[in-house]
Structure 1
Amino acid sequence: MFQSELVKRFINLSTPFYYYDLEILEKNLLNLKNSLKPYNKVHFSVKSNTNPRILSVIKNFNLGIDAVSANEIKHCINLGFTPRDIVFAGVGKSDEEIEYGIINNISYFNVESLQELKVIDSISKKFSKKTTVSIRINPNIKSETHKKIQTGSSDDKFGIDLNDISHIPKLRKLENINITGLHFHIGSQIINLKPFHDLCMISNEILNYLRENDIKIKNINVGGGLGIDYEYPENNLLSNFKEFINLFNNGIRLDKNQSIHFELGRSIVGQCGFLISKILYSKKSYDKNFLILDSGMNNLIRPALYNSKHKISNLTSKNSDHLNYDVAGPICESSDTFAKDYRLVKSIRGDLIAIHSCGAYAESMSSNYNLRDNINSYYSDTI
């Protein structure tokens, strides 16, 4: 994956840094485009990656934006995205953020509670506007992913309880609200697609109920959650969009002029990004071999948060022997560890390390903890 000429260029750069292979991104976006039907719409989940260069490529493929804050909306508008292609989700929208979305005429709000719906109605009235909304339902589906990225079970804070659906017909009395959609999102990094089959069945039941109550739904937003291969990324650089999208296109019973919306993030950008780091120290402590890198949880927090696994490669070692290492960063936290007992070629101070599958939830979740500097990003077409 990393040709020798590219590694030579890496050697001349200050580490750590993010590296984005735009060819992988463009191939995956074309893969996505070829998997869609005319009645499908994809909004990119911008929380997964806010990098302007990445977003410019995504914009060229005519994707919309799934935003979860007013600042994300503002960021994308400044980059040239049309407000009518921006959807505003998120469980805790402030009044000021709601105002911002209304004033900028975004496509629609994904509403997470009956109370939020009334707040949006009240703010819309202040501006003499009728605001389009989709109602997020919590379908109580266990999504077989890490508990901390599961978002559609009865234990989770997201969406409206299935038992409260009977309240929806009464909401038509809200004069400044136009309910046109249903929204779901059951979790992230889901590999087994069975929970999505379950979601189709529940969606159909809810749609039947709404039809019986003469509520016209234009779009069903099924969220995202399609996982990527963190263990063997080079074997699965392109996501299985066709199977995922066909599952919903075949499983949800649509009326004429209804559409299915998706909010995809990780599955689009995950495999195009890498965190390139340098080994500061190699040491043995008791029975453990440690590699201390110059990048840490401030650059990639997922392993510390979710115990997530990323492939790690030594790009410059000439050694053929292998050892098991705990690969850690410089941050003053024991959780600042990328991998434990990870099998690598024998590694020494100064070797370049690549952590794979960092295109999603790496740069966008980075911080300045320990007052560490922000790091640079480089791209395959300009490096």
Structure 2
Amino acid sequence: MFPIDKFQNIETPFYYYDTELLRTTLNTINNEIGKYENYCVHYAIKANANPKVLRIISEAGLGADCVSGNEIKAALEAGFPASKIVYAGVAKTDKEILFGIDNDIFCFNCESIEELEVIQQLAASRSKKARIAFRINPDVGAHTHSNITTGLAENKFGIPMADMEKVIMLAKNMPNIEFIGLHFHIGSQILEMEDFEALCNRINELQERLEEQGIVVQNINVGGGLGIDYENPNQKPVPDFKSFFEVYAKNMKVRHGQKIHFEPGRSVVGQIGTLITRTIYVKKGTKKEFCILDAGMTDLIRPALYDAYHYIENISNPNGVSKEYDVVGPICESSDVFAKNYDMAETRRGDFIAIRSAGAYGEIMASQYNCRPLPIGYLSEEFK
């Protein structure tokens, strides 16, 4: 699976992206949404903004979901049309908003009355109209890590449901604002379809409430959130997009001509990426044996930040006798641990170790703490 012979002269750690799997994943998404004429997909760039990966995704026809001005710039440079770019985020700066207006992006997912007023002022300064979808906080929980739950009333994201009609009427009275939809997002790494069903039911309630006041919504953006199987990347390399899209088809009451927008990120790129690292030392402690890697939390922070699990394998000795290790990195922090009491094939100094399912929130969240260089990302096709 991994061309280890071609890794010998490449400095580790680095990210290895399986482009064949990426294209299979994108084809699966397109085949599934092809069943529904009103479905639109915008890839969430925050998951992975590697320019080579972005280019492949844009060539597959997906739009882009951005949360910063630089993500909009990266999307445009990768070939995503401005007409398919949506821009979310709780703290859009004036510079970022103007960049979106100047490039005539499809929509701003607006998160507060204060933001709405600023967008109106900036659009007026350009003598343009800005299209707005309001992000509504649906107060719907998700079975996921507390740090990546976004749809509860206690979270910082979105406008409270109680204020929905108020902000829509404000927008309708602003000359440089065009209200075009509602936006929702309840969290990330969600594997229970019942969570998405609950969101559908809440959206149905809110739409009925608006229609009683004569307000018809053109676009409903349900965000992303579909998770991946971190424990079995080989057995389940492509997430269950069929069930994901079917939940909305079966449970959302879609109005005539209404478009449904999705913003998957992790589910598109999570399984395509592997962090390739090498063993520096195998250290025998008093009670434990440590596999010390040249990759650390600066290269993949998810285990330290979320206590996240990643499947780890010794690809230099795949058939070796299994041993238990604490798999750790070189950073001067006690939290620089990828796994504790982890069973994998016996490891020796210099062995290549693959940390799987690292395509999402891996390279993009890397830092230069301890003055370490940022890891480089390579496509699998570059090794052919």
Question: Which whole-Å CA distance do the structure 2 matches of 1:22 and 1:29 have between them?
Answer: 10
Displacement of 1:284: 1.6
Would you say how many aligned residue pairs link Structure 1 and Structure 2?
380
Taking the aligned partners of 1:117 and 1:377, their CA distance within structure 2 comes to 38
List aligned pairs for 1:322-337, cutoff 5 A: 322-337=322-337
Equivalent-residue separation in structure 2 for 1:155 and 1:169 (angstroms): 22
Query: Using the alignment, how far apart are the partners of 1:317 and 1:77 within structure 2?
Result: 43
**Contact 2:131 / 2:179 at 8 angstroms: preserved in 1?**
yes
Contact 2:168 2:179 in 1 (8 A): no
| 1:201-240 paired onto structure 2 within 5 Å | 201-240=201-240
Does structure 2 conserve the Cα–Cα contact (< 8 Å) formed by 1:169 and 1:213? no
Aligned to 1:52: 51
Aligned to 1:255: 255
Q: String of CA shifts for 1:26-81, please: whole Å, max 9, x gaps.
A: 00110111110221000000010111111111011100000000011111212222
In 2: Cα distance, 1:99 partner to 1:149 partner = 29
Match of 2:28 in 1: 31
Q: Where do 1:1-383 residues align within 5 Å?
A: 1-2=1-2, 6-36=3-33, 37-171=36-170, 172-317=172-317, 320-383=320-383
Q: 1:348 to 1:39 in 2, by over 3 A?
A: same
Following superposition, the deviation at residue 238 of structure 1 comes to 0.8
| CA deviation string 1:189-240 (max 9, x = no partner) | 0011111111001101111122222223111000000000001111100111
Contact 1:180 1:216 in 2 (8 A): no
Instruction: Output the amino acid matched with 1:211.
Output: E
Q: CA deviation at 1:142?
A: 1.2
Task: Give, in whole Å, the separation in 2 of the partners of 1:85 and 1:166.
Answer: 26
Gaps of 5+ in 1: none
Q: Secondary structure at the match of 1:264?
A: coil
Q: TM-score, normalised by structure 2?
A: 0.96
With structure 1 as the length reference, what TM-score do the two structures score?
Answer: 0.97
Q: Comparing 219-228 with 282-291, which one deviates more in the overlay?
A: 282-291
- Amino acid across the alignment from 1:305: L
Distance in 2, Cα, partners of 1:165 & 1:218:
15
Q: Cα offset for 1:177?
A: 1.1
User: Using the alignment, how far apart are the partners of 1:340 and 1:347 within structure 2?
Assistant: 15
Distance 1:247 1:322 in 2: 41
Kindly indicate whether the alpha-carbon contact (under 8 Å) linking 2:42 and 2:62 is maintained by their aligned counterparts in 1.
yes
Give the distance between the partners of 1:130 and 1:345, measured in 2 at CA: 60
Deviation at 1:319, TM superposition (A): 6.4
Matched residue of 2:382: which SS?
coil
* Cα distance per residue 1:117-171 (max 9 Å; x no partner): 1111121111111111100011111101000011001221000111222313431
3-state secondary structure, aligned to 1:291: strand
Instruction: Please give the alpha-carbon distance, in whole angstroms, between the structure 2 residues aligned to 1:78 and 1:330.
Output: 35
Distance change >3 Å, CA 48–CA 169, structure 1 → 2: closer
Q: Give the distance between the partners of 2:66 and 2:57, measured in 1 at CA.
A: 14
Distance apart, 1:341 and its partner CA? 0.7
Secondary structure at the counterpart of residue 206 of structure 1? helix
Letter in 2 for 1:310: H
Single out whichever of 309-318 and 66-75 deviates more from structure 2. 309-318
Distance 1:35 1:349 in 2: 45
Distance (Å, rounded) in 2 between the aligned partners of 1:186 and 1:80? 29
Q: CA RMSD in A?
A: 1.2
In percent, how many aligned pairs have the same letter?
A: 47
> Aligned partners of 1:44 and 1:344: how far apart in 2?
34
Kindly indicate whether the alpha-carbon contact (under 8 Å) linking 1:35 and 1:241 is maintained by their aligned counterparts in 2: yes
